[in-house]
Structure 1
């Protein structure tokens, strides 16, 4: 089954990482994959565009089916391989509702982080509007504060007592946020969650290799 799958991915990209975690959780090791460089523009190559006309990663194919939105790919894998590996969507209606809610809601915090990172990369420091930067960072801090509160109420996982799709979607964003400067001491519950989950086999197996090899060189979230 996994041999019919192909994933184009970029190291450290939360959307790519989500799909890789889901593949591990569903015991779909052995899929074909190719690591591409964002810096070299390899995600705009014809081989990616053939699968994803937007030229974005991840670009994922299972047989004739192309699924390029990361959460959709994760949901697809859970649906197609329900009885294999670890269940990512609970059977209990209340738990299922919360897992779906948090899975989609996690895209909000991810986008808030992406907006800050993109602005820092593309806009020269002399041209930045500090009031807007400050407002965006405060907004991201408040958003992570919401997730800190979720763990207080429903931990140890982000949608309750069991690992679920919500963790697959949310964790890579949190890990990147801590990687690029967000202070763990400001969010003790999220910090504990991060340190707990990074030991999970599916996450250890897919941890970005360049994170292990190189210290971060970019810290746009140091004031969040």
Structure 2
């Protein structure tokens, strides 16, 4: 039975990174669209897979999972013999990747979520964003990127010279900033961050995902 991927047809947030992980792993899957407008993510059937009623989720022949980063780790092991290696097997290399993922989730993502909430989510809902709150978040992100600049001066990616899950998780919300005219990821004051981010934005799996959206591969 083929793996099923449940999500809205929207390339962003945790949905984006799971879709990208599937692409990077060259994994065969069936895309099951979830219409959140009619609360398909709150049905008993869906909540049997994800009791929080959130997206995305996967079902791999009866084994259901939720939470995007956990799903990505599972996919990397599930399809270990194909596609890109997202989490190294060597202990110290794996530890560095997990360290960078923790930085993203605990220090980079929170202020980013604040900015996206104001400049993206509120705008889509026809609400007036709180620019002061957005500016506060952007200042926090800028401070984190100053540290990224130091890290990326030493190697090509956040956890070494190979693309890993530590880089992939940054596709969740940061691309939305440029879509709203916020050019914080590629400023000239941080050339190493800009080089890294431009490379991520031109990665073939991401370009294809943005152009085509989620599609079953079986």
Mapping for residues 1-224 of structure 1, pairs under 5 Å: 3-10=1-8, 11-29=10-28, 31-36=29-34, 40=37, 42=39, 44-46=41-43, 47-108=45-106, 109-120=108-119, 121=122, 124-125=127-128, 128=130, 130=132, 132-154=133-155, 156-183=156-183, 184-185=186-187, 187-207=190-210, 209=212
Task: Return the alpha-carbon distance in structure 2 between the equivalents of residues 52 and 106 of structure 1.
Answer: 24
Q: 1:162/1:93 Cα in 2 relative to 1: closer, same or farther (>3 Å)?
A: same
User: Offset at 1:19?
Assistant: 1.0
Equivalent residue of 2:153, what SS?
Answer: helix
CA drift of 1:42 comes to 4.3
Q: 1:195 and 1:42, CA in 2 relative to 1: closer, same or farther beyond 3 A?
A: farther
What SS class does the counterpart of residue 163 from structure 1 fall into? Answer: coil
TM-score with structure 1 setting the length: 0.76
| Uncovered stretches (5+) of structure 2, i.e. residues with no partner | 214-218
Q: In terms of mean alpha carbon deviation, does 73-82 or 165-174 score higher?
A: 165-174
Aligned-residue offset at 1:133: 4.2
Return 5+ residue gaps in structure 1 as ranges: 211-224
Partner Cα separation in structure 2 for residue 41 and residue 164 of structure 1: 36
Single out whichever of 41-50 and 75-84 deviates more from structure 2: 41-50
Higher RCO (CA 8 Å, separation ≥ 6 residues): 2
8 Å CA contact 1:43–1:57 kept in 2: the answer is no
Q: Aligned Cα RMSD in Å?
A: 2.7
Shift of 1:72: 0.2
Count of aligned pairs between the two proteins: 203
